[in-house]
C-alpha cells in the first residue's frame, strides 16, 4: 500500500476561515491594499538591485555611498558594496536629526514594577558613553563582546554601543549555563564580557555574575568583565578583570561619533542550536541587516509614530535583536521593554501592563499564547485591552485554535494578527500578512514580503503542486540574509546552499494553497512517515489542540514494523483528567478532524513538554523517548531538565 517515495508531504489540514482587514485599518496603513502589495512585490522581484538600491539610499544614512547593490561569489553574498554607514547612527543620530530627540525610545518596566523611560536623546547619550567605556577597555572595531544580561535598557545600550564602534556583539540569553556561555565565548574568541549581578525572575534573583565567573574560568580569550548593578545581590569582583558598569560610566564622556563602517562589517553573531553538536554562530552584517529590519518592521507592524509597541521576546534571541532593538529604533519607534516573567506576581501581568501603559501593538510567541489559554480566561478578562490595534506571533506555527483565542480574547475580534515566519538566519521577517492588505487565515503565515521569493521542492528538487508539502527554499538573495557561520564557512555552504544549489534551504517544510498562501508544516527532520504518507507535525498537533481538553501537543514518529513509523503524541491537558477515556476520545477527535491516517498510535499525557529556552518544542528528544531510547544528542538548549527526566521515567 505504500506510495512511491517522492518526498512530498501529504497535507490533511483544512482551514477555511478568512479575516480581511477592516476598512479603517486599511485606510491608515502603509500598505493598504493588495494592489499596493502586488506592485511592491513585482518591483522587488523583477529588479531586486534597483528596488533595494533605492530603498537603501532612502532609508539609511551613508557616510560614503555604495557603488554596487549586490555581489554574489559562490554562496557568499555582499550588499551595498563600498558603502559606509553605522547602525547606531541610523537608530539614534538620524532620529534626533529628524527632530525626534524628545520622543521616548524605550519605555521599560522591571519585574518588581520599577519603570524607566529614555528619550532618543538620552539613549544617544548613554550609548555614546558606553561606547567610550568599551573603547577605554581596549575594544576596537571587529572585536567580539559577549553579552549575558537581563532585559534592562542597558542590554540595548550595550548592543548599540558595540554597533557604534564596530565591535561585534554576541548576546547569550541570560538563562544559559556557564558551559554554554564558555562554548560560545571560545567559538567567537570574545574579548570582553558584559553581565549583571543578577536578574529578577518570578520574584527570585538569578545570580548571573556567579554563572559568568564559572564561564570565564573556561573562556581564556575574555580579559575584562563589566557588571551592571541590577538585583543588588552579593557578587565577588576579580580585581583587574571585573568593573562596575556605573563606575566606568561615571567617568565616560557622552560624545562618541559613530564610526563609518563598511556595509559588510560584522554587526553581530547569534548562536542558534544545530540539530546535532556544536551551536552555530550566525553572522549578520551592517547595511543589509539594518535595511531589512527597518523596512519589515514598518511593513508588517504598520508602525505609526503614536504606537506603543511591545515585543515580548528577549534580546537574547533574533526576535529581540531585530524587533526590539534595530528594526523599531531605526524607524524612531517607542518600544516597551519588560524584564520579567509573564506570570509574576499573577498570571495577568501582561494584560495588566497593556492596560496600564495603553500599549497598541503586541508581538509574542505561540508557546506563550498556549500558556495563557491554559492559565484561564479570567486573567485576561480582568483588564481592558482596547488600546491594542495589532497582534503578532513568531517562533513556531500557531495552531488555528490558539489563533482564534488570540483574535477573540486579546484582539476583541478587531485586531489583525500577523503570523510572521522567519529565522535567525533570515535576519528579519520573510513571510507575513500585511495587516492593512492581507486577509488572514488562522495557521497560515500568508504571503512572502517584497524581495522574498520562496519555492517548495520535493526531494528530487522539483517544485511541488499546490497543497503538496515539500522543502521550503528561497530563490533570490535578500539584504537581511545571513552572511555565514562564524569561523566555519564550509558548514554554512553545506547546511544552507548545497541541497538545492543556488537556493537557500530553510530547513522547514511548507505547502502553498490555491490562493498562494503559505502554511509552514514543521522542520524537515520532524516529518512523520506513516505507510509512505509523509505527515506534518504541525497538522497533527493542531488537530489535537483543537480539542478543548488539550493545552499543548507534540507529535513525533516512532519506528513501527508495519507502517514504517507510527505516530506518538505527547499531550498536556487543561482542566481535564488524563484518562483512558480521554485517550480514546482524542483519537476519535483526530480521526474526525483530519482522518484515519493521522490518528496517533500512542498518546502520552505529560505535565509539560521539553522546550528550548526560546519556547520551541524539542521533538528530537521526544522521538528518542517515543522509541524507548535514552534521549541523546545536544541538550544544552533544553530549558527545564526535570521535564525530560519525568518523560524518561527517571523519577519513578
Please, which residue, 85 or 272, has the CB nearer to ligand WTA? 272
Please, which residue, 235 or 528, has the CB nearer to ligand WTA? 528
Among 124, 523, 620, 623, binds ligand WTA (CB under 6 A): 523
Separation between Cα atoms, residue 25 and residue 414, nearest integer Å:
10
Please, are residues 510 and 456 in contact by the beta-carbon 8 Å criterion? yes
Site string for ligand WTA, 585-624 (x = CB under 6 A): -----------------------------x----------
Is there binding between residue 424 and ligand WTA (CB under 6 A)?
A: yes
Stretch that binds ligand WTA, among 116-124, 390-398, 566-574, 640-648 (CB under 6 A): 390-398
Q: What is the number of other CB atoms lying within 10 angstroms of the CB of residue 489? A: 15
Please, which residue, 111 or 541, has the CB nearer to ligand WTA? 541
Is there binding between residue 492 and ligand WTA (CB under 6 A)?
A: no
Q: What is the number of other CB atoms lying within 10 angstroms of the CB of residue 348? A: 21
Is there binding between residue 269 and ligand WTA (CB under 6 A)?
A: no
DSSP letters along 181-219, please?
HHHHHHHHT--EEEEES-EEETTEEE-HHHHHHHHHHT-
Please, which residue, 441 or 523, has the CB nearer to ligand WTA? 523
Please, are residues 453 and 430 in contact by the beta-carbon 8 Å criterion? no
Minimum Å gap between C-beta 545 and ligand WTA is 14
Separation between Cα atoms, residue 652 and residue 647, nearest integer Å:
10
Q: Which residue has the cell 563589566?
A: 226
Is there binding between residue 326 and ligand WTA (CB under 6 A)?
A: no
Please, which residue, 258 or 520, has the CB nearer to ligand WTA? 520
Minimum Å gap between C-beta 1 and ligand WTA is 31
Distance of CA 271 to the CA centre of its chain: 12
In sequence order, what are the residues at sequence separation of 6 or more whose Cβ sits closer than 8 angstroms to the Cβ of residue 263? Answer: 66, 78, 79, 80, 81, 82, 83, 84, 85, 285, 286, 287, 288
Is there binding between residue 10 and ligand WTA (CB under 6 A)?
A: no
Please, are residues 427 and 322 in contact by the beta-carbon 8 Å criterion? yes
Angle at 571 between CA 570 and CA 575, to 5 degrees: 165
Separation between Cα atoms, residue 526 and residue 508, nearest integer Å:
9
Judged by CB under 6 A, the number of residues near ligand WTA is 20
In sequence order, what are the residues at sequence separation of 6 or more whose Cβ sits closer than 8 angstroms to the Cβ of residue 398? Answer: 366, 369, 406, 419, 442, 443
Minimum Å gap between C-beta 371 and ligand WTA is 17
Minimum Å gap between C-beta 441 and ligand WTA is 13
Please, which residue, 128 or 319, has the CB nearer to ligand WTA? 319
Minimum Å gap between C-beta 425 and ligand WTA is 7
Minimum Å gap between C-beta 171 and ligand WTA is 13
Minimum Å gap between C-beta 275 and ligand WTA is 12
Separation between Cα atoms, residue 361 and residue 389, nearest integer Å:
6
Is there binding between residue 394 and ligand WTA (CB under 6 A)?
A: yes
Site string for ligand WTA, 432-471 (x = CB under 6 A): -------------x--------------------------
Is there binding between residue 272 and ligand WTA (CB under 6 A)?
A: yes
Minimum Å gap between C-beta 315 and ligand WTA is 13
Stretch that binds ligand WTA, among 95-103, 106-114, 220-228, 389-397 (CB under 6 A): 389-397
Please, are residues 268 and 171 in contact by the beta-carbon 8 Å criterion? yes
Please, which residue, 254 or 639, has the CB nearer to ligand WTA? 639
Residue from 495, 500, 501, 493 nearest 464 by CA: 500
In sequence order, what are the residues at sequence separation of 6 or more whose Cβ sits closer than 8 angstroms to the Cβ of residue 477? Answer: 48, 70, 72, 77, 504
HSE (side-chain half, CA atoms, 13 Å) at 222: 31
Minimum Å gap between C-beta 5 and ligand WTA is 23
Is there binding between residue 520 and ligand WTA (CB under 6 A)?
A: yes
Please, are residues 137 and 111 in contact by the beta-carbon 8 Å criterion? no
Please, are residues 325 and 147 in contact by the beta-carbon 8 Å criterion? no
Q: What is the number of other CB atoms lying within 10 angstroms of the CB of residue 217? A: 10
**C-alpha grid cell, residue 136:** 577605554
Separation between Cα atoms, residue 276 and residue 425, nearest integer Å:
17
* Subset of residues 553 to 592 that bind ligand WTA, contact rule: CB under 6 A: none
Burial class (CB in 10 A: 0-12, 13-18, 19+), 261: buried
Stretch that binds ligand WTA, among 1-9, 259-267, 367-375, 502-510 (CB under 6 A): 502-510
Is there binding between residue 300 and ligand WTA (CB under 6 A)?
A: no
Please, which residue, 318 or 594, has the CB nearer to ligand WTA? 318
Please, which residue, 606 or 637, has the CB nearer to ligand WTA? 637
Please, which residue, 198 or 397, has the CB nearer to ligand WTA? 397
Minimum Å gap between C-beta 292 and ligand WTA is 13
Separation between Cα atoms, residue 268 and residue 328, nearest integer Å:
17
Stretch that binds ligand WTA, among 172-180, 286-294, 477-485, 503-511 (CB under 6 A): 503-511
Q: Which residue has the cell 529565522?
A: 423
Please, which residue, 163 or 398, has the CB nearer to ligand WTA? 398
Residue from 395, 387, 345 nearest 368 by CA: 395
Separation between Cα atoms, residue 319 and residue 422, nearest integer Å:
9
Among 397, 433, 479, 557, binds ligand WTA (CB under 6 A): 397
| Residue in the shown chain whose Cβ atom is closest to ligand WTA | 424
DSSP letters along 493-515, please?
HHHHHTTTTTSEEEEEEEEE-TT
- Sheet containing 242-244: give its strands across: 242-244, 224-228, 192-196, 144-147, 168-171, 266-272, 280-285, 484-485
**C-alpha grid cell, residue 226:** 563589566
Among 111, 126, 339, 508, binds ligand WTA (CB under 6 A): 508
Stretch that binds ligand WTA, among 8-16, 134-142, 251-259, 393-401 (CB under 6 A): 393-401
Stretch that binds ligand WTA, among 33-41, 68-76, 100-108, 391-399 (CB under 6 A): 391-399
Among 318, 354, 544, 647, binds ligand WTA (CB under 6 A): 318
Residue from 90, 67, 89 nearest 80 by CA: 67
Please, which residue, 26 or 293, has the CB nearer to ligand WTA? 293
**C-alpha grid cell, residue 227:** 557588571
Please, which residue, 119 or 420, has the CB nearer to ligand WTA? 420
Is there binding between residue 395 and ligand WTA (CB under 6 A)?
A: yes
Please, which residue, 266 or 396, has the CB nearer to ligand WTA? 396
Is there binding between residue 423 and ligand WTA (CB under 6 A)?
A: yes
Is there binding between residue 495 and ligand WTA (CB under 6 A)?
A: no
Minimum Å gap between C-beta 327 and ligand WTA is 12
Separation between Cα atoms, residue 415 and residue 344, nearest integer Å:
26
* Subset of residues 190 to 229 that bind ligand WTA, contact rule: CB under 6 A: none
Q: Interface with ligand WTA by CB under 6 A: which residues?
A: 272, 318-319, 394-397, 419-424, 445, 506-508, 520, 523, 614
Amino acid at each position: 500500500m505504500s506510495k512511491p517515495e517522492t518526498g512530498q508531504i501529504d497535507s490533511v489540514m483544512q482551514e477555511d476561515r478568512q479575516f480581511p482587514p477592516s476598512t479603517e485599518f486599511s485606510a491608515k496603513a502603509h500598505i493598504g491594499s493588495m494592489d499596493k502589495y502586488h506592485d511592491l512585490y513585482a518591483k522587488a522581484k523583477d529588479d531586486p538591485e534597483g528596488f533595494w538600491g533605492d530603498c537603501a539610499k532612502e532609508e539609511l544614512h551613508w557616510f560614503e555611498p555604495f557603488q554596487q547593490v549586490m555581489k554574489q561569489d559562490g554562496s557568499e553574498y555582499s550588499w551595498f558594496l563600498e558603502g559606509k554607514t553605522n547602525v547606531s547612527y541610523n537608530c539614534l543620530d538620524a532620529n534626533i536629526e529628524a527632530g525626534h530627540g524628545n520622543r521616548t525610545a524605550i519605555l521599560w518596566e522591571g519585574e518588581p514594577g520599577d519603570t524607566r523611560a529614555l528619550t532618543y536623546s538620552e539613549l544617544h547619550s548613554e550609548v555614546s558613553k558606553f561606547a567610550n567605556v568599551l573603547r577605554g577597555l581596549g575594544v576596537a572595531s571587529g572585536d567580539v563582546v559577549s553579552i549575558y544580561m537581563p532585559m534592562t535598557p542597558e542590554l540595548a545600550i550595550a548592543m548599540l554601543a558595540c554597533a557604534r564602534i564596530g565591535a561585534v556583539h554576541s548576546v547569550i540569553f541570560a538563562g544559559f549555563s556557564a558551559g554554554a556561555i564558555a562554548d560560545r565565548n571560545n567559538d567567537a574568541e570574545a574579548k570582553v564580557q558584559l553581565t549583571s549581578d543578577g536578574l529578577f525572575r518570578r520574584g527570585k534573583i538569578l545570580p548571573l555574575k556567579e554563572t559568568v565567573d564559572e564561564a570565564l574560568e573556561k573562556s581564556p580569550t575574555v580579559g575584562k568583565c563589566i557588571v551592571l548593578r541590577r538585583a543588588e545581590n552579593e557578587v565577588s569582583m576579580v580585581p583587574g578583570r571585573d568593573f562596575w558598569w556605573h563606575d566606568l560610566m561615571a567617568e565616560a564622556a557622552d560624545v562618541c561619533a559613530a564610526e563609518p563602517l563598511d556595509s559588510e562589517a560584522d554587526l553581530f553573531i547569534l548562536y542558534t542550536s544545530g540539530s546535532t553538536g556544536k551551536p552555530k554562530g550566525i553572522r549578520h552584517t551592517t547595511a543589509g541587516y539594518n535595511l531589512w529590519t527597518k523596512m519589515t518592521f514598518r511593513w508588517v507592524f504598520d508602525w505609526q509614530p503614536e504606537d506603543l509597541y511591545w515585543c515580548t521576546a528577549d534580546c537574547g534571541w533574533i526576535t529581540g535583536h531585530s524587533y526590539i532593538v534595530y528594526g523599531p529604533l531605526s524607524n524612531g519607534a517607542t518600544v516597551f521593554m519588560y524584564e520579567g516573567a509573564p506570570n509574576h506576581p499573577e498570571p495577568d501581568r501582561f494584560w495588566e501592563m497593556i492596560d496600564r501603559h495603553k500599549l497598541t501593538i503586541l508581538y509574542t510567541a505561540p508557546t506563550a499564547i498556549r500558556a495563557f489559554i491554559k492559565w484561564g480566561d479570567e486573567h485576561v478578562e480582568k483588564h481592558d485591552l482596547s488600546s491594542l490595534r495589532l497582534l503578532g506571533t513568531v517562533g513556531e506555527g500557531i495552531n488555528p485554535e490558539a489563533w482564534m483565542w488570540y483574535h477573540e480574547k486579546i484582539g476583541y475580534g478587531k485586531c489583525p494578527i500577523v503570523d510572521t515566519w522567519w529565522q535567525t538566519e533570515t535576519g528579519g521577517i520573510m513571510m507575513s500578512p500585511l495587516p492593512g492588505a492581507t486577509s488572514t487565515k488562522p495557521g497560515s503565515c500568508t504571503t512572502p514580503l517584497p524581495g522574498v521569493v520562496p519555492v517548495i521542492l520535493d526531494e528530487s528538487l522539483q517544485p511541488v503542486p499546490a497543497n503538496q508539502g515539500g522543502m521550503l527554499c528561497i530563490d533570490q538573495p535578500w539584504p537581511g540574509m545571513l552572511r555565514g557561520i562564524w569561523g566555519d564557512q564550509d558548514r554554512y555552504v553545506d547546511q544552507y546552499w548545497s541541497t538545492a544549489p543556488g537556493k537557500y534551504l530553510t530547513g522547514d517544510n511548507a505547502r502553498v494553497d490555491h490562493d498562494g498562501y503559505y502554511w509552514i508544516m514543521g522542520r524537515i527532520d520532524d516529518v512523520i512517515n506513516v505507510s509512505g504518507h509523509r505527515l506534518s507535525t504541525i497538522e497533527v498537533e493542531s488537530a489535537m489542540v483543537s480539542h478543548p481538553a488539550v493545552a499543548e501537543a507534540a507529535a513525533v514518529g516512532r519506528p513501527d514494523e508495519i507502517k514504517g513509523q507510527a505516530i506518538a503524541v505527547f499531550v498536556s491537558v487543561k482542566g481535564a483528567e488524563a484518562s483512558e477515556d480521554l485517550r480514546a476520545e482524542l483519537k476519535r477527535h483526530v480521526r474526525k478532524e483530519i482522518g484515519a491516517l493521522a490518528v496517533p498510535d500512542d498518546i502520552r499525557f505529560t505535565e509539560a513538554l521539553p522546550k528550548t529556552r526560546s519556547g520551541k518544542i524539542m521533538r528530537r528528544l521526544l522521538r528518542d523517548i517515543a522509541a524507548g531510547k535514552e534521549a541523546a544528542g545536544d541538550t544544552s538548549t533544553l530549558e527545564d531538565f526535570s521535564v525530560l527526566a519525568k518523560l524518561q521515567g527517571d523519577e519513578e
